[in-house]
């Protein structure tokens, strides 16, 4: 029982890291980025290549899995994403679905369509027992890393200069730029950061979620659920939503394997109908 | 306003509506070409049948996006539901005659669309996208889990169709199937054309333009959206039913996200909001798919994606502007 809770929390933490970038793009720019999972997949594949092919240690591969998608994200944001910000939602959906299809086919072409596995160090394999709770070492690592990142994000958003600029840009881009904040640059950096975090999540999650070219399509709905349930106005909202979703999904698959996927989708639809602005969002609408 | 002036105004409005709804030269050409393909391309009837079904499906999404501004990422839900409904009706011999079965399927899917429309029409674009997407995934799971009824991952097998109208047996070359699908497409198109050029269609356009203002001038926004959503669901369901009837098989991929997403490509290729977009797009899409799949069987989705990205970057407004210019040239002299 508690083991399931533990696994669920690890899963939820992972979902949070994967999706928090999306909550920023959606909240900040009101931009529907269905291609967010593609950055996560990019991070995962980068990690697989550097660990398995180049023999880089697993821990050293994680920063690379962050940096590569972050750079890719910054580049794409600069070149092709920015013109689409001001477009209609239909255009944004079309554009990002297009990117998803391209990334799926490109990874398929480069790496093949089968699932790939990352070699994790032996010290992370297996599980140990604390007070009767089975704790997987790898999942513990995920919880520690993602927990630290979440705390860091919360601190960064609440207490740093960049954080306050970002919040200003969220609330009112026009006034923010009137106050001398370079809103475009803030957006660009945030986008890159979000893509990098997704990439890191993809690398960490390769072991648990599985990694194949269909990744962005398979998990798109999960990211959207996290963002929609968590609202887009804070870090804590998506965080709690991700944890809930993680626990719900793991428990659902364990106790009701026949109904596993229904539970999640049904919860999502009910939540969206009940509180279209998200479970944990401020009551004011954007 | 005096009675005479009012009457004058009514006459003017009626005149303009009739003028808008008039058949144009190019429309005759399009349907003549479709009819010609029945006689002159007998070897291509299988793929033409697929095109006709895709066109009907795209027409359904066009009614939603182009005329009501509702973005649905899970339109395959209704397509798939129609496909399975038609398959089950035929398999269990509930209704033997395909045309009647098609009508019944359409009604059943319309009912589903009507019920779900209330869920979908709440909230913003993002909420709609997610609810439609979630709904299609749920239906897919349902079809997957109730394997006893639907055959699960193996697909629905053992569907045998009775002869069409008791006369024409579905043949392996798809000749009967194509004529059937094309006829259904044409009839459904006529109905759609009637709908969008009616005052109801005009009021939908107003809602799409600005729902708040539309409500302010006395247009009931919500029930109009419910109505068009129900109609669009029925169209999608009938397209799905046609697929099952003409292939005598139906599998889980009728619900797939790719099917909903491909539909966007079809519409964007053909243009949104003038009814022929879905039809022209379906022709372009299937031909390109056929060609690209021949070149790179596995990776043709890459080119689909690239097309979407380029089209958006160039701008759909600009593209439709070019299209409008072309159409203006084509319809010159008719006003």
Domain limits, chain A: 2-213
How far are the Cα atoms of A216, B249, B289 from residue B263, in angstroms, in the given order?
19, 21, 13
What distance in Å separates the CA atoms of residue B267 and residue B285, rounded to the nearest whole number? Answer: 9
The answer to whether residue B333 scores a pLDDT higher than 50 is no
What distance in Å separates the CA atoms of residue B164 and residue A266, rounded to the nearest whole number? Answer: 40
Q: Mean pLDDT across the stretch B199-203?
A: 85
Cβ separation B305–A262 shorter than 8 A: no
How far are the Cα atoms of A42, B181, B195 from residue A214, in angstroms, in the given order?
12, 33, 39
Three-state DSSP class for B116?
helix
Confidence of residue B327 (pLDDT cuts 50, 70, 90): low
The residues with which A133 forms a beta bridge, in sequence order, are A130
Tokens of A178: 């009137």
**Min Cα–Cα distance to chain A from B297, Å:** 11
DSSP 8-state secondary structure symbol assigned to residue B299: T
In 10 A of CB A27, how many CB atoms? 21
Mutate which of A78, A90, A96 to disrupt the B interface (most B C-beta within 10 Å)? A90
What distance in Å separates the CA atoms of residue A208 and residue A120, rounded to the nearest whole number? Answer: 12
Residue with tokens 């919860």: A267
- Per-residue pLDDT at B105: 92
Nearest CA in chain A to B134: A265
Residue with tokens 């990117």: A99
Tokens of A51: 């660990």
What distance in Å separates the CA atoms of residue A134 and residue A129, rounded to the nearest whole number? Answer: 5
The answer to whether residue B314 scores a pLDDT higher than 60 is yes
- Per-residue pLDDT at A76: 86
Nearest to residue A202, comparing CAs of A190, A187, A212?
A212
Mean of the per-residue pLDDT values for chain B? 82
What distance in Å separates the CA atoms of residue A76 and residue A70, rounded to the nearest whole number? Answer: 10
Beta carbons of A19 and A222 less than 8 angstroms apart = yes
The answer to whether residue B187 scores a pLDDT higher than 90 is yes
Mutate which of B126, B310, B319 to disrupt the A interface (most A C-beta within 10 Å)? B126
pLDDT in tens, B39-52: 887 778 888 888 99
What distance in Å separates the CA atoms of residue B167 and residue B170, rounded to the nearest whole number? Answer: 10
The answer to whether residue B114 scores a pLDDT higher than 90 is yes
Mean of the per-residue pLDDT values for chain A? 80
Chain mean position to CA A273: 23
Cβ separation A84–B312 shorter than 8 A: yes
Nearest to residue B89, comparing CAs of B282, B270, B194, B238?
B238
Cβ separation B304–A101 shorter than 8 A: yes
Q: Mean pLDDT across the stretch B18-27?
A: 79
Beta carbons of A35 and A96 less than 8 angstroms apart = yes
- Chain B residue set in contact with A, beta carbons under 8 Å: 65, 71, 73, 119, 122-127, 129-131, 133-135, 137-138, 141-142, 145, 257-258, 261, 264, 268, 272, 298-302, 304-309, 311-313, 316
Q: Mean pLDDT across the stretch B111-138?
A: 83
Q: Mean pLDDT across the stretch B27-32?
A: 84
Q: Mean pLDDT across the stretch B287-310?
A: 79
Higher pLDDT, A283 or A28: A28
In 10 A of CB B156, how many CB atoms? 24
- Per-residue pLDDT at B55: 92
- Per-residue pLDDT at A283: 44
Angle between helices A137-159 and A183-209 (to 10 degrees): 170
DSSP 8-state secondary structure symbol assigned to residue A77: I
Chain mean position to CA B272: 12
B258 contacts in A (CB within 8 Å)? 217
Q: Mean pLDDT across the stretch A116-126?
A: 74
**Out of A94, A103, A266, closest to residue B312 by CB:** A94
Least confident window among A162-176, A266-280, B87-101, B228-242: A266-280
Q: Mean pLDDT across the stretch B161-172?
A: 73
The answer to whether residue B58 scores a pLDDT higher than 50 is yes
CB-based burial label for B278 (10 Å; 0-12, 13-18, 19+): buried
Beta carbons of A17 and A149 less than 8 angstroms apart = yes
Within B174-315, residue ranges assigned H as helices are 175-197, 199-209, 211-216, 221-247, 257-270, 276-295, 300-314
pLDDT in tens, A198-257: 888 888 888 777 788 888 887 888 888 888 777 766 777 888 888 888 888 888 777 777
Beta carbons of B84 and B156 less than 8 angstroms apart = yes
The answer to whether residue B334 scores a pLDDT higher than 50 is no
Angle at A66 between CA A61 and CA A71, to 5 degrees: 125
**Out of A109, A261, A266, closest to residue B299 by CB:** A109
Higher pLDDT, A120 or A196: A196
**Min Cα–Cα distance to chain B from A70, Å:** 21
Confidence of residue B25 (pLDDT cuts 50, 70, 90): confident
Beta carbons of B106 and B86 less than 8 angstroms apart = no
DSSP 8-state secondary structure symbol assigned to residue A53: I
**Min Cα–Cα distance to chain B from A77, Å:** 13
- E-strand ranges in A101-160 read 127-130, 133-136
Beta carbons of B191 and B281 less than 8 angstroms apart = no
Per-domain residue ranges for chain B? 12-256
Tokens of B52: 């006709």
- Per-residue pLDDT at A206: 81
What distance in Å separates the CA atoms of residue A191 and residue A197, rounded to the nearest whole number? Answer: 10
- Chain A residue set in contact with B, beta carbons under 8 Å: 26, 32, 80, 83-84, 87, 89-91, 93-95, 97-106, 108-109, 113, 217, 221, 224-225, 228, 258-259, 261-262, 265-266, 268-269, 272-273, 276
What is the DSSP secondary-structure string of A153-175? HHHHHHHSHHHHHHHHHHH-HHH
What distance in Å separates the CA atoms of residue B55 and residue B49, rounded to the nearest whole number? Answer: 10
What distance in Å separates the CA atoms of residue A276 and residue B215, rounded to the nearest whole number? Answer: 22
Q: Mean pLDDT across the stretch B175-190?
A: 89
């Amino acid at each position: 029982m508690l083991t399931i809770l533990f696994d669920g929390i690890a899963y939820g933490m992972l979902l949070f890291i994967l999706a928090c970038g999306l909550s920023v793009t959606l909240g900040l720019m009101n931009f529907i980025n269905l291609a967010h999972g593609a950055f996560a997949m990019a991070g995962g594949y980068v990690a697989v290549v550097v660990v398995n092919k180049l023999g880089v240690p697993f821990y050293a591969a994680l920063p690379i899995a962050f940096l590569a998608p972050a750079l890719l994200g910054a580049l794409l944001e600069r070149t092709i994403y920015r013109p689409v910000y001001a477009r209609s939602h239909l255009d944004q959906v079309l554009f990002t679905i297009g990117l998803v299809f391209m990334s799926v086919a490109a990874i398929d072409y480069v790496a093949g369509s089968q699932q790939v596995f990352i070699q994790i160090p032996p010290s992370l394999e297996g599980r140990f027992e604390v007070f009767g709770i089975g704790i997987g070492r790898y999942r513990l690592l995920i919880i520690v890393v993602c927990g630290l990142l979440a705390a860091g994000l919360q601190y960064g958003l609440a207490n740093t200069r960049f954080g306050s600029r970002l919040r200003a840009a969220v609330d009112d881009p026009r006034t923010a730029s009137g106050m001398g904040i370079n809103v475009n640059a803030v957006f660009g950096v945030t986008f890159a950061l979000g893509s990098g975090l997704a990439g890191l999540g993809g690398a960490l999650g390769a072991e648990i979620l599985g990694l194949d070219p269909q990744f962005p399509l398979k998990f798109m709905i999960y990211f959207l659920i996290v963002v929609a349930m968590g609202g887009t106005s804070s870090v804590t909202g998506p965080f709690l939503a991700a944890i809930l979703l993680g626990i719900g999904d793991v428990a659902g698959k364990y106790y009701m394997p026949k109904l596993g996927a229904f539970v999640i989708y049904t919860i999502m639809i009910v939540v969206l109908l009940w509180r279209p602005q998200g479970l944990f969002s401020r009551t004011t609408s954007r | 306003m005096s009675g005479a002036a009012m009457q004058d105004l009514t006459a003017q409005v009626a005149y303009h509506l009739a003028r808008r709804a008039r058949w144009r030269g190019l429309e005759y050409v399009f349907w003549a070409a479709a009819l010609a393909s029945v006689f002159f391309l007998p070897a291509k009837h299988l793929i033409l049948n697929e095109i006709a079904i895709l066109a009907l499906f795209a027409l359904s999404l066009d009614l939603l996006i182009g005329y009501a501004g509702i973005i649905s990422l899970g339109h395959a839900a209704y397509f798939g539901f129609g496909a399975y409904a038609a398959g089950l009706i035929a398999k269990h011999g509930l209704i033997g005659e395909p045309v009647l079965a098609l009508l019944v399927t359409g009604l059943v899917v319309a009912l589903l669309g009507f019920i779900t429309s209330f869920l979908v029409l709440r909230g913003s674009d993002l909420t709609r996208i997610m609810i439609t997407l979630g709904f299609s995934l749920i239906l897919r799971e349902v079809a997957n889990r109730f394997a006893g009824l639907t055959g699960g991952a193996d697909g629905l097998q053992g569907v045998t169709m009775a002869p069409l109208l008791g006369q024409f047996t579905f043949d392996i070359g798809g000749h009967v199937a194509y004529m059937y699908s094309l006829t259904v497409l044409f009839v459904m198109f006529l109905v759609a054309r009637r709908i969008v050029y009616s005052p109801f269609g005009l009021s939908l356009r107003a809602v799409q333009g600005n729902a708040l203002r539309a409500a302010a001038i006395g247009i009931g926004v919500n029930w109009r959206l419910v109505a068009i959503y129900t109609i669009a669901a029925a169209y999608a369901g009938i397209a799905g039913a046609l697929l099952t009837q003409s292939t005598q098989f139906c599998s889980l991929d009728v619900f797939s996200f790719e099917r909903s997403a491909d539909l966007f490509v079809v519409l964007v290729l053909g243009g949104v909001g003038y009814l022929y977009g879905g039809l022209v797009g379906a022709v372009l899409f299937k031909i390109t798919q056929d060609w690209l799949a021949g070149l790179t069987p596995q990776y043709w989705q890459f080119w689909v994606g690239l097309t979407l990205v380029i089209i958006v970057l160039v701008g759909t407004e600009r593209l439709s502007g070019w299209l409008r210019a072309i159409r203006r040239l084509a319809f010159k002299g008719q006003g």
